[in-house]
DNA sequence: TCAGTTGTTTATAT
DNA sequence: AATATAAACAACTG
């Protein structure tokens, strides 16, 4: 699930509960989520360190401490939980950061991504290198520049983290649906008006999704209709189209997202 | 049993 | 260089 809005929610969990809290110990229930660091190294590096204000870039959550920074990526099924000390371990709680006030749990069923440790800014930058600007920071003019010259399908461009960081499959489809743009349109073929609409809907969808902590499966949204048995466009009732674009299942309305 | 899944990386081909 | 596709990762769900 985690796309930008979900990760923004996890950032809120960390900011609200863990900021200023110091790590007593780190319990690693499954080292399969540790990337480039062993359980022992993680515990040794963080013991006694205190969490500072967390940041987010795209789908990455950056948790600086007065020592190294913890970098979280949630893959498709990850989340961050704040629980009282000693709360029973969920089956998918892979790593627990124990603080005086409570426990921060990295929970993840499929272990597609995970946790890395960055000592200093350059290590942090190395991990995040290659990411495009955060989707919330992209201005209309910047979007124009990003799309110019790209022959690839707009859907594929939107979910490419190297281009814009934060948009996933559901968000991209939702944004294109609202903007009335067919997902297979070459990015550079969008008119100025379409690019403006795309930018406006990107901001609007992100804002609403952040408030909900996820891309909300509301009936009035594409996301609320796409997984029905006979999916229809919430706006016009037309049967929705479905295909693989940019390697992901893509859903669109043939009526008002004409090619 | 089998297809499908909201993320990313790598390999391969065009 | 850009673009497209498939597979792999892991662990489910329908």
Tell whether the model's pLDDT for residue A207 goes beyond 90: yes
- CA to C1' distance (Å), from A146 to C1: 16
- CA to C1' distance (Å), from A44 to C11: 30
**In whole numbers, what is the pLDDT of chain A averaged over residues?**
94
The rounded percent of chain A whose pLDDT value lies above 90 is: 90
- Which residues of the protein are close to the nucleic strand C, CB under 7 angstroms? A 30, 32, 91, 109-112, 149-153, 156, 187, 244-247
Per-residue DSSP letter, A49 = -
A59 in catalytic set: yes
Instruction: State the pLDDT at residue A67.
Output: 96
Kind of pairing between the strands at A115-118 and A69-73: antiparallel
Instruction: State the pLDDT at residue A228.
Output: 86
Per-residue DSSP letter, A137 = G
For residue A44, give the H/E element and its range. Answer: helix A39-46
Domains and CATH numbers, chain A: 4-128 (3.20.190.10), 140-252 (1.10.8.50)
Tell whether the model's pLDDT for residue A185 goes beyond 90: yes
A16 in catalytic set: no
Tell whether the model's pLDDT for residue A58 goes beyond 80: yes
- Residue A152, by phi and psi: left (phi above 0), alpha (psi -120 to 50) or beta? beta
Tell whether the model's pLDDT for residue A227 goes beyond 90: no
Considering only CA atoms, which residue is closest to the C1' of nucleotide C1?
A: A150
Average the pLDDT over A68-90 and give the result.
Answer: 94
> Binning pLDDT at 50, 70 and 90, where does residue A194 land?
very high
Q: What is the rounded distance in angstroms from the CA atom of residue A7 to the CA atom of residue A213? A: 8
Contact A47, A39 (CB under 8 A): no
Instruction: Please write the tens of the pLDDT for every residue from A6-26.
Output: 999 999 999 999 999 999 999
Q: Tokens 């406006």 identify what position?
A: A200
Active-site position among A2, A5, A183, A234: A2
> Binning pLDDT at 50, 70 and 90, where does residue A229 land?
confident
Average the pLDDT over A159-178 and give the result.
Answer: 94
Lookup: nucleotide whose C1' is closest to A4 CA: B6
A124 in catalytic set: no
Active-site position among A11, A49, A56, A59: A59
**Residue closest to A202 by CA, chosen among A215, A184, A189, A218:** A215
A216 in catalytic set: no
């Amino acid at each position: 699930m985690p796309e930008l809005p979900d990760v923004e929610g996890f950032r809120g969990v960390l900011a609200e509960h863990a900021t200023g809290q110091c790590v007593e110990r780190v319990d690693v229930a499954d080292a399969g989520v540790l990337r480039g660091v062993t359980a022992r190294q993680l515990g040794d590096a963080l013991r006694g360190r205190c969490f500072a204000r967390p940041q987010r870039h795209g789908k990455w959550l950056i948790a600086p401490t007065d020592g190294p920074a913890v970098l979280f990526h949630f893959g498709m099924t990850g989340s961050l939980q704040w629980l009282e000390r000693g709360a029973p371990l969920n089956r998918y709680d892979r790593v627990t950061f124990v603080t005086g006030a409570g426990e921060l749990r990295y929970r993840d069923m499929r272990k597609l991504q995970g946790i890395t440790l960055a000592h200093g800014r350059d290590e942090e930058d190395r991990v995040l290198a290659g990411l495009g600007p955060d989707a919330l920071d992209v201005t209309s003019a910047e979007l124009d520049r990003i799309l110019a010259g790209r022959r690839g399908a707009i859907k594929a461009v939107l979910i490419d983290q190297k281009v814009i960081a934060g948009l996933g499959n559901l968000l991209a489809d939702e944004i294109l649906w609202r903007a009335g743009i067919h997902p297979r349109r070459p990015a550079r073929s969008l008119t100025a008006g379409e690019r403006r609409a795309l930018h406006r809907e990107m901001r609007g969808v992100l804002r609403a999704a952040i408030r909900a902590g996820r891309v909300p499966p509301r009936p009035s949204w594409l996301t609320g209709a796409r997984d029905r048995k006979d999916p229809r466009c919430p706006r016009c009732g037309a049967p929705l189209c479905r295909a693989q674009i940019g390697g992901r299942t893509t859903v669109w309305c043939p009526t008002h997202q004409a090619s």
